[in-house]
């Protein structure tokens, strides 16, 4: 599966850009790679809440996965299949 990417335009003060460029160069990586590293490190340090599914959601999940005998296998192009409905 191919990874999906998104671009972000970021305006920085010249001094901060210079600092980032210097730090990235000291690690021998492009500035964009260094910025990705900083973002990933920040996210790793966060505690994200986890939630338990409601009984209603659990029942809906079981009902949906339990009806696989009624499922239709799609072969080929999904757009063609949808158009044929």
> How does pLDDT run across 57-74, given as a tens digit for each residue?
988 888 877 766 666 666
- Residue 40 domain-assigned (yes or no): yes
Does residue 33 lie within any of the structural domains?
yes
Rounded CA-CA distance 49/61 in Å is 21
Q: Could you tell me if residue 71 is inside a domain?
A: no
For residue 65, count other CB atoms closer than 10 A to its CB.
9
Q: Give the residue with greater pLDDT, 12 vs 69.
A: 12
Number of structural domains the chain divides into: 1
**Residue 27 belongs to a domain:** yes
- Classify residue 70: in a domain, yes or no: no
* Per-residue model confidence as pLDDT tens digits over 17-71: 999 999 999 999 999 999 999 999 998 888 878 888 899 998 888 887 776 666 6
Is 2's pLDDT higher than 90?
no
Is the pLDDT reported for residue 85 higher than 70?
A: yes
Residue 54 Cα to chain centre, angstroms: 24
Q: Distance between CA atoms of 66 and 64, rounded to whole angstroms? A: 5
Range of the domain at 29: 11-47
Q: Does 75 reside within a domain?
A: no
Is 1 within the bounds of a domain?
no
For residue 63, tell me if it sits in a domain: no
């Amino acid at each position: 599966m191919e990874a999906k990417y998104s671009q972000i335009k970021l305006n920085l003060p010249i001094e901060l850009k210079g600092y980032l460029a210097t730090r990235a160069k000291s690690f021998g990586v492009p500035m964009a790679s260094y910025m990705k590293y900083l973002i990933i490190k920040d996210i790793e340090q966060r505690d994200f809440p986890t939630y338990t599914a409601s009984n209603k959601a659990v029942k809906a999940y079981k009902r949906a996965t339990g009806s696989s005998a009624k499922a239709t296998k799609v072969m080929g192009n999904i757009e063609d299949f949808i158009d044929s409905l």
